[in-house]
Structure formats: C-alpha cells, structure tokens
Structure 1
C-alpha cells in the first residue's frame, strides 16, 4: 500500500500508523472502511492520511484481500438502462467509498447460453459480486429459478425483480404503490377509477396492476378492474390510453397512470378533449419525475428513489461478499437495511385542485 507524495517521497501505511500512534493493522482497517475502529481513532488516522498525502495502492489492496475489488453490474440493453444518471453515479460513489470499482456488462438476450457467457466473463475478470440491474421483462430472469447459484464463487443481488428463494432482491413494493395510489383516489370519493399500466410483460407493471385491483376490491368496486389499458411508459401512449379508457368507461372520474411520462400524455389529451382536471377527472402518476411539478395542472404522483435503490443493492452485495469471506462489514454498510423500499405520495393539483406540494 505504498504511494508517493507530491514531494516525491514514498509514503507507506506504516508512516500513517506511526504518526497516528496506532498499529499498522488498525490503520489498514481505517483505510478499508472496517467498522472495528472507534470514531476517535478513525478520525485521527484519516487526519494523518491527509497530512501525509497517503493514497492506498489498489493493486496492493487487491493482493492483501485476495480479491479483485471489482463488482459486476449487468444491464438489460433491450429497454435502456435502469442504472443511469443519478442512480449510477450514486452507485459509483458508494462503491468508491468502500474501495470497489464497477464493471458494466450489457445484455439483450437472457438465454441460458448468454447467461453462461456473461457469468464466464465475470469469472474471468474475477469480480467479487454481481448486481443484476436490468428490469425483469417476460422471462429475462427465469434462469435464476434453476441456475446453481450456490456454485458461483461470488454472490449476486437482483434489482426490482420477482422474489426468488436463494436470491437477494432489492426493489420497490410496487404492489403497495398501486394500492396506495388507488386509495388516494378513493379517498377523494372517486368511484370509476381506471388504470393506464406499463407494458404487461414487466414485473413492475404487473405488481402495480395487482395493487390497483386490490384497492378496488377493498372498496367494493370490482367492476372497475375492467378499466385497464396497457401503455408503453412513454408520453405518446398517454393520449391513446385515455381515449381507450373513456371507451371502456365514458363516465370515468379518475385514472391511475403507471408513469409520469404517460400521465403527461393523459393530461394533454384531457385538455384537447375539454375534460376538466381534476374537476371531472383526477389524474395521478408514479415516479415523481422532476418535470411533473410543472405539468398543467401539476401532477400528483408517487416518489421512486431509484438512486437509493441502487445504493441499497450495492451495500447488500458488499455485505454478502463479506459474509462469504468471514470479514466484518465496511463502515459504509455496517447496518442491515430493508431490501424492500416504499414509494411516497406527493399530492398536487391534478387530484386535489389548488393545493401545496
């Protein structure tokens, strides 16, 4: 773990330990983010690291740990990236803070041959763990049901996938999101509530449909379950979706839309048809897109903190890696946390009229 400071002098971990008045092992624990160090000692060692300009050698850390300190992230290219923008940046930042780098792999085919090839490449790169970040579409994740995951030398964590025995899954409770969105509309005395869903081959969309249906059953409105139309997640499917819902139920008084982008299309179509929102038709979405507060009218929606989901998945993976090697968890993920995240309701004018966010 040697390095060179700006003056050209080699600075070692032993130099840091000597200045901090601790053992080299303790200094190493601080560098590696171990929780087995007091806050006072950690602060003192970190201060000495800054003073001396010490930077751990990644190669030395890999040799010491006997691992690559690399995590594989597998995306589904057929539908774009789940791990993009703020979510991916947050994951990179979280990994970097615990001394890991990320290796991305893109897949558009999840046949057994393609999965075997992907896992073979990950093994060749000696990744310490894998995050399956692509959304579950159709049978894309079915290989998890019968693959001998216990034979893999590294753990795997899936994101926003169907729960499976023996597989760590981190994601949102989309059933509860659909249920709570519908309950909000019911609380406003809406009784003819339609649903514009995401693509029906998506696990997330299926769960939101089931949550909407459950809330309708609770309210004694099973007939409304016929008012469901499939969309594409995108704005261009919102207008046709509303038209179809109005064909199914001409006196529709509310619609739960499974994405804010589709809800924008719904609002535009309602305006074109002269339908008063929210007077005649209450509209709510899900995602809390940054632009949704500026729709006309501003959109009631449900938050979905995707960056947090990505970071929780990464911390879960690091804990599983530590479990396999009998090591303490790094300070950044020492606390166990729930792998099932929940949405939060954001009420705006599209359901309640003139209200504050």
Structure 2
C-alpha cells in the first residue's frame, strides 16, 4: 500500500535540504503514476523545484506510439467560412492566462459553425469586455433553431475545458426538457472509502418554447478535455447529434469549488498545489470514461499530411454530411 511504503520515506526527508526536496518530487511522481484521474496535476511552487509539474495523464499519452502535440485549427479553418464570420475575444476573462475566444461562422450559407477555445463563456457573457463575446453568443443561440440552416457544427477540438458552470449555461440553450447525463459520486468525509452513493447528474430544462433543434455534428480530438467533454457527452444524448474525429482526453470527473466538496484541488502553501477532480462521474450508459476518453461516432484521425495541404479532413467530412 502506497501510504505504508511512502510515509516513512517522507518522514526521513529534511525540508531544509535541497536534495531532499527534489527527492520528495520523485516520490510524488512514483505514487501518482498509476492514477486514472486525467485532471490530476501537482504544480510545485518551491523555488528549488522551479515550478516543476507532475501530470500523469499527459506523461502516459506522451509515451503512446501515436503521440502528437495539439493542433490549433483556427487559422486553417477560416478558408471554409463565409466572409461575414464573427470572431470575439474577452481579454478580461482568463483561464490559466488564456483569454476566452469564440468564432461564429456560416459555411456555404447553410451550415452554422461555432468554436470556442475554452469554457468561460458565462463569465465572458456577463463581463464588461469589449470583445463582442456576448454579441456572438446571442447570435449563436438565436440561430440553432432556425430552419434556414441545414445543421450546426460545434468544434470542440483543442478545447481544454474550464468552468463547470458553463455546463448549464451552454446546454440550457439546447436542452428543452430535463436531461439526466449520468451520475456523480462524492467524498463525504476524510475516511478513505467514505463516498456518497451515485447521484443523478441532471441538466435542467432551459428553453420554455418547444422548437426543433438543428442536426448537430461535434468535432472532437484528443485534446477535447474536461468541461468540453461533459458538454459533448450531454449533447450526444439529444436527437440527431453525432461526434466526428478522435477519442477525447478522458477527464470527465468535475472540478468544483474547494469549499463545496470534501475532495478536489488543494494547496500546501509555499510548496505545491494539487489539481484533482472533486467527484467521480459515470455516464448514462453506466461506463466511466475517466482516463479512457469518449469515442466518436465516426473516427477520422488527425492527418498531418492533410494539414500540410491545408485540408481539415474532419471539418470537410462534417460539411459533407450536413450538406447532403
């Protein structure tokens, strides 16, 4: 058992010795290498460790034979958009120093395309930013029920997630009756095995007026993470929604405010911060996709050769399906 093995090792360390502080990081790396929590990170704040990060999920993926770095499609995909596309940025709202960006476009005048780089949409919507994010979101939410379009593409590729509050904020514009997306299990006290039973995870009904939603294709890749995955999983339960691309990252356990849960992110001042899920999540199909990722309905792997030729094969496939 890890506790029994490592407790005496840590007890023998001297926090005033640089070598021992470095050795503590090695111990943490050994202890956590088998974790399936794909949010889990340890960020060291101690000056001796120089901001070192332990990220087991990333380390595991980096060792895979088909490993690749994330790719930002935003520049490439502009060639597919009609000329009047909208792009907004909220410089006031940031996650990990990254601003909220949104893109709303039409393709061939009859397909809606929406992309966001992260999920701090609700905060951006109500912020005082001059970046047009609110305007773009209002236009987007208005269009998704207009029958003048053949369908909607929601591009969640290279989206590392963000605010859990966006789950309701975003989905309330799509969900017209209460939607159970799965079940969550929470830590109830400090006891090692003291967990709650599985509790329904529900998206409340948003729109009062019943209207027919456009067919939706979600683009996902290996770097569709966290809140982006939960939004994708939720939308997948609606009629006429398909996922195209690659299996997602596999970080479906929600991260909530630390004052609300017995588990989750915490800090040891001056030494480290631990980022970890606040709860376990089980999808409505009874499966846990943490550490595994959610597979697409149509698998279209990333192609560096096509990218070199300025072709987005995943987007082109989505356009061909909706344009039929």
Query: Which one has the bigger strand percentage?
Result: 2
Whether these two folds match at TM > 0.5 is no
Query: Which one has the bigger helix percentage?
Result: 1
The TM-score with structure 1 as length reference comes to: 0.24
Structure whose alpha-carbon radius of gyration is higher: 1
